[in-house]
Amino acid sequence: MSAKRVLSGIQPTGDIHLGNYFGAVKNWVHLQDSYQCTFSVVDYHSMTMPYVPAQLRENTWSMVFQLLACDVDPKNLFIQSLVPEHTELAWVLGCITSFGELQRMTQFKDKSDQLKESNKESFVSTGLFFYPILQAADILIYHANYVPVGKDQEQHLELSRNIAARFNNQFCTEEKPYFHHPEPLYTETPKILSLADPNKKMSKSLGEKHFINVFGDPEIIRKQVKTAVTDTGSGPSETMSPGVANLFELLKACGNQQAHASLLSDYQQQQLKYSQLKEAVAESIIALCAPIKERYLLLRADENNIKEQIRNSSSEIRKMAQKTMREVKELVGILNV
Ligand code: AMP
Ligand code: TRP
């Protein structure tokens, strides 16, 4: 039997942050050893929020280099817009998805609220509304079994499964379903919180202080961790606050198990100084990010070759998407050329 298939995507909206890294990208790198993986820089998705055209193109390449620096294999990496069959399939899937299903998507509600808050007259596009269908197309077009993502994508994955089920129901016989039902794969840290506001997830869209940039300046990282919200009270209490728990999670995710165990035992004995915890967290993050940043610079120095490689891998990966699209057209009654 052939290896199970994995697909995931990330938007080129800026630098990779620790939420992206510990929630998804680090897992992508591990999964490459055991599965047939395809990972995408989903540039069409980034058109759903206000953006600057020239910056989108630069951010798309920059995200490619950042993922490679994190150890994603170039053969597994492609740019979504270089495989136009994704948008073609999205149209077909859109025609079997109800308006009500999309209205229930919490990310749509959050992002449209965010837009309205930033400017009362702002424009909420139908692209933003349609976005989860394009995501379903990204996944289903490769018959992915697993999708490594952060917890915030749970609802989109559920929608992808519903769309697959409806497609099979409508266009296939029971004995011969066409699409798999893709399952999410989570890491031990599927939801990293903002250090500045641990009631919210770490995210670029909340603003600078709400995310730690893997490619950021160590001094800024130190400052961000130093000013992280811990307890609202005066010191450690019986139940661990979300801010403190988040710092412990980061320490563990960085691989600093020893410091994690010893600081946790201090905490349990009510002897933990938050300054010590913060220092250990900041230094572990900086140590984790340093070699990634170094690799990024090396890759950038070989920019043209690497861009060519990604164009080639995109056209290789496109062959799978073209095959699916031909088969889908047969099933749904659209002409094939
Ligand atoms: P995005 O930057 O929204 O394209 O997200 C890329 C990947 O990172 C997705 O799989 C997200 O679920 C994941 N992700 C984003 N923010 C977080 C977070 N704070 N904690 C864990 N995973 C996250
Ligand atoms: N919606 C995802 C996010 O905001 C990005 C994404 C687009 C994705 N297409 C995908 C993730 C396909 C997994 C699979 O993070």
User: Can you give the residue ranges of every domain in the chain?
Assistant: 5-191+303-332, 204-297
Q: Is 116 a catalytic residue?
A: no
Give the model's pLDDT for residue 238.
67
Query: 20 C-alpha to center of ligand 1: Å?
Result: 4
In this prediction, residue 120 carries a pLDDT of 79
Paired residues of 9 in beta bridges:
40
| Positions of the chain with pLDDT lower than 70, given as ranges | 1, 232-238
In this prediction, residue 89 carries a pLDDT of 98
Which CATH number is 5-191+303-332 given? 3.40.50.620
Any idea what DSSP says for residue 122?
Answer: -
CA distances from 90 to 9, 52, 137 (A): 15, 24, 5
Q: Given 26, 111, 252, 278, which residue is catalytic? A: 111
- Residue 17 is predicted with a pLDDT of 98
Ligand nearest the Cα of residue 70 is 1
Give the number of C-alpha atoms closer than 13 A to the C-alpha of residue 100, restricted to the C-beta side: 1
CB 17 within 8 A of CB 212: yes
Q: Among the atoms of ligand 2, which is closest to the Cα of residue 150?
A: 15
Q: Can 307 be counted among the known catalytic residues?
A: no
| Contacts within 8 Å (CB) and 24+ apart, 253-262 | 253/18, 253/22, 253/26, 253/188, 253/189, 253/192, 254/281, 254/284, 254/285, 254/287, 254/288, 255/284, 255/288, 256/280, 256/284, 259/284
Q: Please state the pTM of the whole predicted model.
A: 0.96
Structure tokens at 87: 């948008």
Are 259 and 251 spatial neighbours (Cβ–Cβ below 8 Å)? yes
Superfamily of domain 204-297 in CATH is Tyrosyl-Transfer RNA Synthetase (1.10.240.10)
In ligand 1, the atom with minimum distance to the C-alpha of 201 is 19
Helix (H, G, I), strand (E, B) or coil at 195: coil
Per-residue pLDDT at 119: 83
Told to judge if 293 belongs to the known catalytic residues of this protein, a careful annotator would answer: no
